[in-house]
Structure 1
């Protein structure tokens, strides 16, 4: 299992574009010259940096840089070892750039100490007076403590001076954690950084990847060796394989359940520093605050294209939040958002028929994105005018290029959320209706943490490195349980397009003192819906299919503050408000819109004891108790509707 997890993680999260074979496997070797460097940062730490320069580069034929910084390895190592592909796509590889790959500090073949998420640190006053700490790097090796922003700055400065035949422009991209490094390049950016594309970027580990609204994503449990084990010196071999948990089964649900309370994970991860940090920081304290890139996204000068997938089970919060934050803080910056019908990073390689779980969205959608959106962005800002007019016409790329996952078509917006979106409320009525008005009653269910609601009925996916398919899976298995509430509209007589933000505004009570609240937005297909030609699971019928469109969890103790949790008062009606991530989805005529509400979602999230304890990571078996939860009829789901 160790080997499989390592390879799986590399293919899905690390360098997905490089895992994609080109039509001519020798293209990279025939057209690029590889050179490996040790690039010194301002504190003397040397980072392994691989440069692939076009062989036809010259003083009269200069190329821009296109760089990826990663904690997942820039393999293959060695001057004569070439990958099958370079860059974000084959299109850009054939367009030719000086491609740069760098192991970040403390990872793989680079020196230094590894720290999860070290975004832009505040400038000391003296450095600010000298036009910023990053700029001071050219003359000082002591201008503030290093972080990923300064390491990016220092790397660009070195590349411009030491790699010949460059045109003085730099672009950066990365998917997942490398997406974070791309976002971290933006504050106090080097003047030569002209274009950056954070793709599925990690932004804040308390809200995406390892947590959602403070609830621990237990499905990530197997990833901790990658993030929580140091290596003593630069290496080209994976040093963390011995840290992987040996489950002895492919049934991840049962293994996670048999673990019992999270405190029992210590027998596997006692020496894993990131697990211990997670356990000891259950609330949104300074430890997490200083690891968030969001507050640092000010003074952003490079052009930005943030990319995400509507069905990204790992990083959906990141791209939407980074885009909106840059838009708010930097109104004059070229800033665009792209969201496609993809799981995590799947826009980086073409699959032909584009599916997520059992849902088919069309053909060659990744290729469309690569050629008509991504390549246009980088070619314009790195090779052409760079004036923001990125198309053949004067309009260029739109503010937002988003895929409607109900109509299966791309839409362009000049603002997101759209200026003409109308806010509408749907009430959760005790009779099971999702209606325009609420009643005076309530719905209730018994939540038993010892019999949690599964997040998927596909056990083959529960022992993988991270979840994937559940984001669009059929929810009939959940909706038929007594501990899952369902509310749905009448059959729609016309199309209904939700486009924008979603808020859950719940009025709830519990007989316990803590509870999680899970809300799922679901598209219910008509009974006679035919199966499409590419069904991956022949045992599934699309008639009455309950496609999950969006979902989110709120750990109830954080309903008023992520920094200062508080218990529920047993039996007291309480507001629990939280945002589901954005959506662009048309519920077609003949379909229904459904909301499901539940309190367990295992093992996607850890089990809440439903008895308030200071730290759930340290809860005992005795703390886990049944509780009766009520959802009152004046609870609403607030959506934005497009005409």
Structure 2
């Protein structure tokens, strides 16, 4: 049922876009993008080599339901081996969907060079339109994936192939540059570096990635952030608060729903659970918090609505569902941990500053003293160790920060014991007044839920590299002036957390978090300079009336139930 000359059914949205899209449409209509099938295997799988516009062929599995088609088709494109879906494809086929699973360029059985995500806009387009040209396809194509296959799904959607109808994307960022490779200008060592190594990328190439912390044309050409305005389809985004891409899942939904392409606006869905990119570590648990692979039944509701025109009510329900986290010690989980449904994100809130205090407290009242600060020595050879957080695969989740111990370069601030709940839901920033004796250094801030017994549950932890305090665009880079006081704005991403009465809100400040983030050598050298020796930095945090450092929490102002 694989056609070598079936004309492409460009029946929906083939309007003038890019010249290359027209070229691919022409290739398809002439049968030039047909694949060569191998015999069916016992599990009803056909293996096809599908050519891309440059002649590179990508290894592709086609799984067809019993009976006669055509059928709607669900596609996934993966660097993790196209055969991985063998175990679950029967569920899709039983429900009347053909499935296509493809090895991305340069991985497993596919031809070409392995350059992660750099060809997936064009390759995604070509694959979708190849599917639409086959006899087994009814012209409705959905795409799905988790993590890296979620990234390839977004990039395919950004190409706006005419036959791509809907997507279901789990834990994928809005930007590889800002969310995956660099955060606050700091390379995500254990996540991005570790993942690239797992994909067979050389250390030389990884070092080249690390040196590309300034936005360049290559990033713009391949990063979803700069192409998402082309997305014309409904996308169901699933994310987790402890996931590596939490903020990306939120931003993908918010942008497409409110500001995206007119054909996409108002058609998006979001679920934010309380899971991570791996099993949560630590002593907390979140019943009903979802899972990294999403909800299969919800996914099928999505496909049935958009690919089969079955009105099952999914689009009549609130577009946003979020898990509100609260006190969650294993065996003693508060009933304030729950899923909340709402019409938009974020909910109504009041941006409330909690100020660092000279006595190491944290208060909504600004400090009154005229001169207060704390100085510590940041030694790059002795970084603060990572203890949980939004990590990849290991050491994931709200671990107890007491395990870090007492260090002169690790400052803990906290509120008094809360007399009533503080419900936080939305984006968080840290406004930090600092000085250093180095040309460049890092600052790291953590938001912590402190339990009555002292357990310091990590909620968020984010850095900023001082040279990128004005941004990561060309021309933004500016080294520090030793001794000069600067205000840094640290993007702390977002959360939904109830700090319950009896708990305390904590803010921790330091200058490293390794291996979650690469360590700054403090020498101010060029990003590709590995020969200049690292040096210690004397870093100062200010918290007085003239330099009031504070974390800005979105405190919810109306009931969420």
TM-score by length of 2: 0.81
- 1:42-61 counterparts in 2 under 5 A? 42-55=53-66, 57-59=67-69
Shift of 1:282: 4.0
- Count the aligned residue pairs: 496
C-alpha contact 2:281 2:396 (8 A) present in aligned 1: no
Structure 1 371/73 Cα, relative in aligned 2: closer, same or farther at 3 Å?
closer
Structure 1 pair 53–467 and aligned structure 2 pair: CA distance change class (3 A): closer
Q: Are 2:158 and 1:187 equivalent residues in the alignment?
A: yes
Query: Within 1, Cα distance between the matches of 2:388 and 2:353?
Result: 31
Partners of 1:216 and 1:428 in 2: CA distance: 27
Q: Does structure 2 retain, via aligned residues, the 8 Å contact 1:507–1:635?
A: yes
Partner SS, residue 618 of structure 1? coil
Q: Alpha-carbon deviations, 1:337-368, whole Å to 9, x = none?
A: 2211111177xxxxxxxx55321111584499
Q: Which runs of 5+ in 1 are unaligned?
A: 1-28, 77-81, 119-146, 230-242, 244-268, 347-354, 528-543
Give 1:446 deviation, angstroms: 2.4
Map Cα deviations across residues 548-582 of structure 1 (whole Å, 9 max, x no partner): 11111111110012133221111211011121111
Distance 2:503 2:111 in 1: 56
Residue 395 in structure 1 maps to residue 395 in structure 2: no
1:630 aligns with 2:550: no
Q: Which stretch of the first structure deviates more once superposed, 591-600 or 200-209?
A: 200-209
Per-residue deviation, 1:472: 1.0
Cα distance change on mapping 1:153 and 1:210 into 2, 3 Å: closer
Would you say the 8 A contact 2:380–2:520 is kept in 1? Answer: yes
Say whether 1:421 aligns with 2:354: no
Residue pair 2:277, 2:292 contacting (<8 A) in 1 also:
no
Deviation of 1:430 (Å): 1.6
Q: Residue 432 of structure 2 corresponds to which residue in structure 1?
A: 506
Structure-1 residue corresponding to 2:231: 300
Query: Is the contact between residue 51 and residue 101 of structure 1 (CA under 8 Å) also seen in structure 2?
Result: yes
Deviation at 1:48, TM superposition (A): 1.1
Match 2:249 to one of 319, 329, 338? 319
| 2:37 aligned residue | none
Counterpart residue number, 2:472: 562
Tell me by how many angstroms 1:502 deviates: 0.2
Alpha-carbon distance in structure 2 between the residues aligned to 1:422 and 1:218: 34
Distance 1:369 1:291, change over 3 A: closer
Change over 3 Å in CA distance of 1:584–1:114 after alignment to 2 = same
Is the contact between residue 206 and residue 213 of structure 1 (CA under 8 Å) also seen in structure 2?
no
Where does residue 256 of structure 1 map in the other structure?
Answer: none
Matched residue SS, 1:324 = helix
Deviation per residue, 1:412-436 (Å, 9 max, x gap): 1211112x22211111112111111
CA contact (8 A) 1:64 1:169 kept: yes
Distance 1:561 1:370, change over 3 A: closer
Residues 491 and 373 of structure 1, relative CA distance in 2, 3 Å threshold: farther
Instruction: Render the CA deviation track for 1:254-284: whole Å, top value 9, x for unaligned.
Output: xxxxxxxxxxxxxxx3xx4x32422543433
Q: Counterparts of 1:89-128 in structure 2 under 5 Å?
A: 94-118=94-118
- Give CA-to-partner distance per residue, 1:347-399, whole Å, 9 cap, x none: xxxxxxxx55321111584499515533322222122347xx743xx723x22
- 1:182-261 map, 5 Å: 182-220=153-191, 221-227=193-199, 229=201
**Alpha-carbon distance in structure 2 between the residues aligned to 1:494 and 1:94:** 51
Any conservation in 2 of the 1:613–1:619 contact (CA below 8 Å)? no
Match for residue 15 of structure 2?
none
Which residue matches 2:308?
Answer: 383
State the match for 1:334 in structure 2: 267
Q: Distance in 1 between matches of 2:364 and 2:168?
A: 40
CA contact (8 A) 1:509 1:630 kept: yes
CA distance in 1, matches of 2:516, 2:490: 18
Cα–Cα, structure 1 residues 40 and 390, in superposed 2: closer, same or farther, change >3 Å? farther
SS at match of 1:290: helix
**Which residue is 1:150 aligned to?**
122
1:43 partner SS = coil
Per-residue CA shift, 1:481-515, capped at 9, x if unaligned? Answer: 22111111111111111100001111111122222
Question: How many Å separate the matches in 2 of 1:286 and 1:177?
Answer: 22
Distance 1:110 1:159, change over 3 A: same
**RMSD of Structure 2 on Structure 1 (CA):** 2.8
> 2:353 and 2:464 mapped to 1: Cα distance?
19
The separation in 2 between residues aligned to 1:402 and 1:632, in whole angstroms, is: 34
SS of equivalent to 1:107: coil
Match of 1:601 in 2: 513
Structure 1 length normalisation: TM-score?
A: 0.72
Relative to structure 1, is the Cα distance of residues 615 and 156 closer, same or farther in structure 2, using a 3 angstrom cutoff? Answer: closer
- 1:70 correspondence with 2:78: yes
Instruction: Specify the alignment match of 2:450 in structure 1.
Output: 524
Deviations 1:433-470 (A, max 9, x none): 11112223223322222221111289xx9xxx945334
